[in-house]
Structure 1
Amino acid sequence: MSWAQDAVFYHIYPLGFCGAPEYNDFANPVPRLDKLYDWIPHLKALGITAVYFGPVFQSTRHGYDTADYYRVDGRLGDNDSFAKLCDALHQNGIRVVLDGVFNHVGRDFWAFQDVQKNGQSSPYCGWFHNLNFGGPSPMGDPFWYDSWQGHYELVKLNLRHPDVVRHLLDAVGMWMDRFRIDGLRLDAADCVDFDFFRALKGYVRERNPDFWLMGEIIHGDYARWANPELLDSVTNYECWKGLWSAHNTKNYFEIAHSLQRQFGPDGIYKNLALYSFADNHDVNRLASQLTNRRHLENVYTILYTMPGIPSVYYGSEWAVEGARTRESDAPLRPCLELAEMESRDQTLCAHLSRLARIRAAFPALRYGDFENVVIKNEQLVYRRATPEQRVYVLLNLAEEEIHLEFPHQEPVLQDVLNGDAIFHNDGGRTWLPVPPCSARILVGAPDRFAWSG
Structure 2
Amino acid sequence: MTTWHEHAIFWHAYPLGLVGAEPVLDPAAPVAHRLPRLAGWLDHAVELGASALLLGPVFTSHSHGYDTVDHFTIDPRLGDRGDFDALVAAAHERGLKVVLDGVFNHVGSRHPAFLRAVDGGPDHPEAGLFRLTWPEGATAGTRPGYATFEGHEGLVALDHDADAVAELVEEVMRYWLRAGADGWRLDAAYAVPPSFWAKVLPAVRAEFPEAYVVGEVIHGDYAGFVAASGVDAVTQYELWKAIWSSLNDRNLYELDHALGRHNALLETFAPMTFVGNHDVTRIASRLSDRGHLPHALVVLFTVGGAPSVYAGDEYALEGVKEERLGGDDAVRPAFPDVPGQLAGDLEVLRLHRELISLRRRHPWLHRARTAPLELSNEILAYEVTAPGERLVVVLNLGDGEAEVGARAGGVLAGGADLDGDRVRVPGHGWAVLG
When normalised by structure 2's length, the TM-score is: 0.93
How many residues are matched? 427
Residues 390/135 of structure 1: CA separation in 2 closer, same or farther (3 Å cut): farther
The SS at the match of 2:203 is helix
C-alpha deviation, 1:334, in angstroms: 0.7
Letter in 2 for 1:311: S
For 1:124 and 1:45, locate their aligned partners in 2 and report how far apart those are by CA, in whole Å.
47
Residues 340/362 of structure 1: CA separation in 2 closer, same or farther (3 Å cut): closer
The SS at the match of 1:284 is coil
The SS at the match of 2:244 is helix
Q: Which residue pairs with 2:41 in the alignment?
A: 39
Given that 1:260 and 1:372 are in contact with CA atoms closer than 8 Å, whether structure 2 keeps it comes out as no
For 2:369 and 2:423, locate their aligned partners in 1 and report how far apart those are by CA, in whole Å.
24
For 1:399 and 1:94, locate their aligned partners in 2 and report how far apart those are by CA, in whole Å.
41
Q: Which residue pairs with 1:447 in the alignment?
A: none
For 1:347 and 1:228, locate their aligned partners in 2 and report how far apart those are by CA, in whole Å.
43
Q: Which residue pairs with 1:436 in the alignment?
A: 427
Alignment partner of 1:65 out of 33, 56, 67: 67
For 2:87 and 2:96, locate their aligned partners in 1 and report how far apart those are by CA, in whole Å.
11
Structure 1: segments with no counterpart, 5+ residues: 444-453
Output the aligned Cα RMSD: 2.1
Residues 387/293 of structure 1: CA separation in 2 closer, same or farther (3 Å cut): same
Q: Which residue pairs with 1:450 in the alignment?
A: none
Given that 2:234 and 2:272 are in contact with CA atoms closer than 8 Å, whether structure 1 keeps it comes out as yes
Given that 2:236 and 2:272 are in contact with CA atoms closer than 8 Å, whether structure 1 keeps it comes out as yes
The SS at the match of 2:410 is strand
Given that 1:381 and 1:393 are in contact with CA atoms closer than 8 Å, whether structure 2 keeps it comes out as yes
For 1:195 and 1:80, locate their aligned partners in 2 and report how far apart those are by CA, in whole Å.
35
For 1:134 and 1:296, locate their aligned partners in 2 and report how far apart those are by CA, in whole Å.
58
For 1:217 and 1:403, locate their aligned partners in 2 and report how far apart those are by CA, in whole Å.
38
Q: Which residue pairs with 1:446 in the alignment?
A: none
Residues 141/235 of structure 1: CA separation in 2 closer, same or farther (3 Å cut): farther
For 1:364 and 1:51, locate their aligned partners in 2 and report how far apart those are by CA, in whole Å.
21
C-alpha deviation, 1:340, in angstroms: 6.1
For 1:438 and 1:151, locate their aligned partners in 2 and report how far apart those are by CA, in whole Å.
44
Residues 436/371 of structure 1: CA separation in 2 closer, same or farther (3 Å cut): same
1:4-403 aligned within 5 A: 4-26=5-27, 27-134=29-136, 142-178=143-179, 180-227=180-227, 230-263=230-263, 267-327=264-324, 328-337=327-336, 338-339=338-339, 341-403=341-403
The SS at the match of 2:26 is coil
Letter in 2 for 1:293: R
Residues 134/240 of structure 1: CA separation in 2 closer, same or farther (3 Å cut): farther
Residues 322/344 of structure 1: CA separation in 2 closer, same or farther (3 Å cut): closer
The answer to whether the aligner puts 1:417 opposite 2:413 as a matched pair is yes
Given that 1:134 and 1:144 are in contact with CA atoms closer than 8 Å, whether structure 2 keeps it comes out as no
Given that 2:118 and 2:127 are in contact with CA atoms closer than 8 Å, whether structure 1 keeps it comes out as no
Letter in 1 for 2:41: W
Residues 348/142 of structure 1: CA separation in 2 closer, same or farther (3 Å cut): same
Letter in 2 for 1:111: A
Could you report, residue by residue, the CA deviation over 1:434-453 in whole angstroms, capped at 9, with x for unpaired residues?
1232321111xxxxxxxxxx
Given that 1:104 and 1:147 are in contact with CA atoms closer than 8 Å, whether structure 2 keeps it comes out as yes
For 2:136 and 2:51, locate their aligned partners in 1 and report how far apart those are by CA, in whole Å.
51
The SS at the match of 2:279 is coil
Residues 254/396 of structure 1: CA separation in 2 closer, same or farther (3 Å cut): same
Letter in 2 for 1:84: A
Given that 2:303 and 2:368 are in contact with CA atoms closer than 8 Å, whether structure 1 keeps it comes out as no
Given that 2:417 and 2:424 are in contact with CA atoms closer than 8 Å, whether structure 1 keeps it comes out as no
Letter in 2 for 1:400: G
C-alpha deviation, 1:339, in angstroms: 4.8
Given that 2:414 and 2:429 are in contact with CA atoms closer than 8 Å, whether structure 1 keeps it comes out as no
Given that 2:148 and 2:155 are in contact with CA atoms closer than 8 Å, whether structure 1 keeps it comes out as yes
C-alpha deviation, 1:116, in angstroms: 3.2
Could you report, residue by residue, the CA deviation over 1:73-113 in whole angstroms, capped at 9, with x for unpaired residues?
11111111111101110110111111111110001111111
For 1:353 and 1:19, locate their aligned partners in 2 and report how far apart those are by CA, in whole Å.
26
Given that 1:318 and 1:341 are in contact with CA atoms closer than 8 Å, whether structure 2 keeps it comes out as no
Letter in 2 for 1:369: R
The SS at the match of 1:99 is strand
Letter in 2 for 1:394: V
C-alpha deviation, 1:317, in angstroms: 0.8
C-alpha deviation, 1:260, in angstroms: 1.2
C-alpha deviation, 1:118, in angstroms: 2.6
Given that 1:47 and 1:353 are in contact with CA atoms closer than 8 Å, whether structure 2 keeps it comes out as yes
Letter in 1 for 2:172: A
Could you report, residue by residue, the CA deviation over 1:199-234 in whole angstroms, capped at 9, with x for unpaired residues?
322022111211111111111010122127521100
Could you report, residue by residue, the CA deviation over 1:59-82 in whole angstroms, capped at 9, with x for unpaired residues?
001111110000011111111111
Given that 1:364 and 1:390 are in contact with CA atoms closer than 8 Å, whether structure 2 keeps it comes out as no
C-alpha deviation, 1:18, in angstroms: 1.2
Query: Quick one: percent identity of the two aligned structures?
Result: 36
The SS at the match of 1:15 is helix
For 1:398 and 1:297, locate their aligned partners in 2 and report how far apart those are by CA, in whole Å.
14
The SS at the match of 1:124 is helix
